[in-house]
Structure 1
């Protein structure tokens, strides 16, 4: 497998120029893509168009990184190997912990997959994206006259139009830093990676790990409440974008019943651990988190059966560490944004213990054949 040349750029605004320069120097990236109208209305797309045009002659792929991230020194090496493995794909190396794509990545991690296909009805996480240079040029041509200011939304429209969403790296080697947002996302509060992973583990997982193409239905949380993204809902009204199904309402389409969920909660909910979570965040949130993770564990076990055996060359324990990392973010990500600062180490430990018990129960939670086919995969 020939490793392609990957050019790179950090998109930035003058208010973050210092940290952007530090990022370029530390990660040995090619240079900066500056906002061409820094005094104009906030627009990530305006700067992204500059960044995607900063390809280096001879490069087969181009990596665009935003300025408010952290990443290991091995970033370019890991990205180049992934590009060699998937030469025609759009590759995403950071996924938000609280989004539907983040939930897809968390589900994939618990199932033992290292890549998952992004859902069509949500923005594309754009903090660290690698495109083939031809795709980068096509995106610039597509987006040049867009009135949208969010590059992540336009990327998804572009991919939907081409009939193929990006591949999300499940182990995240890129992390978001800070809570400020030039483009108006500060109200979302603390926004971190769904599955932060060391470069030592991520490199072999991304180079050889399994790919989950279609995870089926996906449990997720937003603002303290549980939801389910149904398979194929992008074909609904307005292609499903912005529509959220509460888990109770969506259960019939999964082949599960609320009665079975209540019975599982009664039998398996660890009251003492739930009480620890409830002391800070209330019992309704504790029970909602447990139910969400019960459904997550059930679907992960279902999907894992279709993935096949783990490939050779994955270090001992790497898959388990990836699973633990993804599970540890479930609780904080599920909180309303204004409550996330209250999740200190003790609270995160309690939420993780609660989530772990639910996923374990979900792994044996069956009420008959699912009404939705299992996820498809490829190696």
Structure 2
């Protein structure tokens, strides 16, 4: 029997015949081991069907296995960065992409602003499965768990699997993998442009992921989707609907200890009217104010989380942490737009939204005044 003596990562690209050339190019560029083809391409759409093939492709003697979907971009250093992360967290499920308007995307954005490089995924949402690395034993356990399931979404079943094991995956806050295109074999095209919450260069992500801080419990998490702000509350997974419902920020505010009066007072004192007008000129005043309030709450929670995370260790460059923060803030506006309006966010619109978001994040720190 082959003994695993060090971290070794095998890999596979999930794909469908309609994207075969794209998948072959991706595997070649990134040095990935091979392709996992949909075994029933004429059947009803099922990402899980192909994922089971991919998770069965663990090479003998390897300690970990990376599964990447075919509609992504990644750096040439992907396998090196994943391998270092697996060496650091040998027993963890590691997730290298988070969707910018999901709850996990909100958790990653909050962690980035707080200066953390990893954050624990929430248990009441799908596990983003565009690039996931599992220990080989965990990959085998997931295959056994998933065999015969009627679920067609691998990302949903991964979360069920992790919940039942009592430990969600670790999300890489600096995203080194980016989603490309808007088509979806599995039925997600209506979500429009879907991007990473915190796109980061390999040069920055390397030290951040190898040495950066871990945020295990971010508390309540602001996130924005389809033009409206929400809050994911701690323990929400225990709700009757499994926590899948969305709580508008006004509805959830009493559970946070904040008040609408306090929010309005900070808005009156700190809202930068010129920046709000720039965003409102394209997307409307209500969106500009919703984005500002969302980022105000995000800034408050990030400032709170930063107290527990502490400063980055010495082998993580301060400049890399700063760029990670800016990247996460810059995606808040485009992610918060309704899908049909995201194509309107050109460079100027993105810059305006980023400036408004940054001003709100800074103002959010004032909501911590007087708290211990």
Contact 1:255–1:369 (CA<8 Å) still a contact in 2? no
Distance in 1 (alpha carbons) for counterparts of 2:94 and 2:72: 17
The one of 223, 227, 232 equivalent to 2:230 is 227
Distance in 2 (alpha carbons) for counterparts of 1:231 and 1:25: 42
SS at match of 1:63: strand
Distance in 2 (alpha carbons) for counterparts of 1:206 and 1:109: 12
* Structure 2 match to 1:373: none
* Structure 2 match to 1:18: 21
The yes-or-no answer on 1:302 pairing with 2:287 is no
* Structure 1 match to 2:136: 133
Distance in 1 (alpha carbons) for counterparts of 2:6 and 2:311: 26
Contact 2:115–2:311 (CA<8 Å) still a contact in 1? no
Distance in 1 (alpha carbons) for counterparts of 2:247 and 2:47: 29
Distance in 1 (alpha carbons) for counterparts of 2:198 and 2:133: 19
Matches within 5 A, 1:320-339: 320-339=322-341
Contact 2:312–2:318 (CA<8 Å) still a contact in 1? no
Distance in 2 (alpha carbons) for counterparts of 1:363 and 1:204: 27
State the TM-score, normalized to the length of structure 2.
0.97
Structure 2: unaligned runs, 5 residues or longer: none
State the TM-score, normalized to the length of structure 1.
0.96
Query: What is the Cα deviation at residue 312 of structure 1?
Result: 1.6
The one of 265, 268, 275 equivalent to 1:266 is 268
* Structure 2 match to 1:70: 73
Distance in 2 (alpha carbons) for counterparts of 1:3 and 1:314: 24
Contact 1:256–1:367 (CA<8 Å) still a contact in 2? no
Structure 1: unaligned runs, 5 residues or longer: 371-379
Distance in 2 (alpha carbons) for counterparts of 1:308 and 1:81: 22
The one of 194, 202, 205 equivalent to 1:202 is 205
In the alignment of these two chains, the number of paired residues is 368
Contact 2:121–2:169 (CA<8 Å) still a contact in 1? yes
Contact 1:53–1:140 (CA<8 Å) still a contact in 2? yes
Query: What is the Cα deviation at residue 202 of structure 1?
Result: 0.2
* Structure 2 match to 1:145: 148
Query: What is the Cα deviation at residue 238 of structure 1?
Result: 2.7
Distance in 1 (alpha carbons) for counterparts of 2:201 and 2:176: 7
* Structure 1 match to 2:278: 276
Give me the CA root mean square deviation: 1.0
Query: What is the Cα deviation at residue 3 of structure 1?
Result: 5.3
Residue 140 to residue 183, structure 1, CA distance change in 2 (3 Å): same
Residue deviations 1:106-134 (CA, integer Å, cap 9, x gap): 00000000000000000000000000011
Distance in 2 (alpha carbons) for counterparts of 1:24 and 1:228: 38
The one of 351, 355, 358 equivalent to 1:356 is 358
Contact 2:93–2:133 (CA<8 Å) still a contact in 1? yes
Residue deviations 1:206-253 (CA, integer Å, cap 9, x gap): 000000001000001111011110111111213212x11111111111
Query: What is the Cα deviation at residue 308 of structure 1?
Result: 2.1
* 193-202 or 311-320, larger mean C-alpha shift: 311-320
Contact 2:229–2:249 (CA<8 Å) still a contact in 1? yes
Residue deviations 1:121-151 (CA, integer Å, cap 9, x gap): 0000000000001100110111111101100
Distance in 2 (alpha carbons) for counterparts of 1:229 and 1:84: 31
The yes-or-no answer on 1:108 pairing with 2:111 is yes
Query: What is the Cα deviation at residue 307 of structure 1?
Result: 1.1
* Structure 1 match to 2:242: 239
Contact 1:255–1:368 (CA<8 Å) still a contact in 2? no
Distance in 1 (alpha carbons) for counterparts of 2:367 and 2:350: 25
The one of 165, 169, 172 equivalent to 1:166 is 169
Distance in 1 (alpha carbons) for counterparts of 2:129 and 2:179: 11
